[in-house]
């Protein structure tokens, strides 16, 4: 049996990554209505993912999946964190603000974090998962792919930034990939 899962995001980059993960899960993915926006008022990634999944499920009467993600920089005490999307108006502004605030600080350690939550049509949270990916913040951008902070996020094990990786490679090691990897088998079980 196929069930509809509404993806609670307006971000095409995220949607593509989620689609790739859930392609053979038996769920039919649809995008949330454009005018349905949920304020991210939570103080943690998990709280925001749960809030979005629950509100979108209740509003649409369908199952819903939501994620909340961001970049936490060690030397900035975890900033921009849950404020990653609100750190500037455009990706370029967000990147330059981060590089400015970090300056020439030697400790460039950082991690992307992603929390994913699934709510049933009543808005109850049924599944939750969190994934991280550790890396380093470069001094300047490298690469053209991906979105968001990808051009300054360098993964030493691969000697590439997220923006230099193929979508497949990024998916296999990213915070979102790690969160979804844990969740997909559980989602398949829910279909029964």
Provide, rounded to whole angstroms, the least separation between the CB of residue 2 and ligand IMP.
27
Q: 95 near 71, Cβ under 8 Å?
A: no
Residue for token pair 């296999």: 172
Q: Does 54 bind ligand IMP (CB under 6 A)?
A: no
Measured from the Cβ of residue 28, the count of other Cβ atoms closer than 10 Å reads 12
- Residue in 55, 68, 130, 164 binding ligand IMP, rule: CB under 6 A: 68
To the query of whether residue 68 is one of the catalytic residues in this protein, the response is: yes
Interface segment toward ligand IMP; rule CB under 6 A; list 23-31, 68-76, 95-103, 137-145: 68-76
Q: How far apart are CA 89 and CA 50, in angstroms?
A: 25
Measured from the Cβ of residue 100, the count of other Cβ atoms closer than 10 Å reads 8
Which residues lie below 8 Å from residue 128, measured CB to CB, with a gap of 6+?
46, 49, 50, 115, 116, 117, 118
Please tell me which residue in 37, 68, 74, 150 is annotated as part of the active site. Answer: 68
Cα distance from N-terminal residue to C-terminal residue, the chain: 8
Cβ distance to ligand IMP smaller for residue 27 or 87: 87
Cβ distance to ligand IMP smaller for residue 126 or 173: 173
> Which residues, 76 to 105, sit near ligand IMP by CB under 6 A?
84-85
Provide, rounded to whole angstroms, the least separation between the CB of residue 114 and ligand IMP.
7
Cα torsion through 134, 137, 141, 145, rounded to 10 = 10
Cβ distance to ligand IMP smaller for residue 141 or 174: 174
Residue for token pair 């994934």: 131
Size of the site for ligand IMP (CB under 6 A): 17
Provide, rounded to whole angstroms, the least separation between the CB of residue 49 and ligand IMP.
8
Binding site for ligand IMP (CB under 6 A): 11, 40, 68-71, 84-85, 112, 146-150, 162, 174, 176
């Amino acid at each position: 049996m196929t069930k509809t899962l509404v993806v609670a995001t307006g971000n095409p980059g995220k949607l593509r990554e989620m689609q790739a993960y859930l392609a053979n899960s038996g769920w039919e993915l649809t995008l949330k209505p454009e005018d349905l926006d949920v304020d991210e008022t939570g103080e943690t990634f998990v709280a925001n993912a749960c809030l979005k999944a629950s509100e979108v499920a209740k509003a649409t009467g369908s199952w819903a999946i939501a994620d909340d993600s961001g970049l936490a920089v060690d030397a900035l005490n975890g900033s921009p964190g849950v404020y990653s999307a609100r750190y500037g108006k455009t990706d370029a502004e967000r990147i330059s603000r981060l590089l400015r605030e970090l300056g020439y600080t030697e400790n460039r350690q950082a991690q992307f974090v992603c929390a994913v939550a699934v709510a049933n049509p009543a808005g109850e949270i049924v599944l939750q998962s969190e994934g991280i990916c550790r890396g380093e913040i470069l001094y300047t951008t490298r690469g053209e792919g991906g979105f968001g902070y990808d051009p300054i996020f360098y993964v030493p094990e691969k000697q590439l930034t997220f923006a230099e990786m193929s979508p497949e490679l990024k998916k296999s090691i990213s915070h979102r990939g790690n969160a979804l990897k844990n969740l997909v088998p559980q989602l398949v079980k829910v279909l029964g």
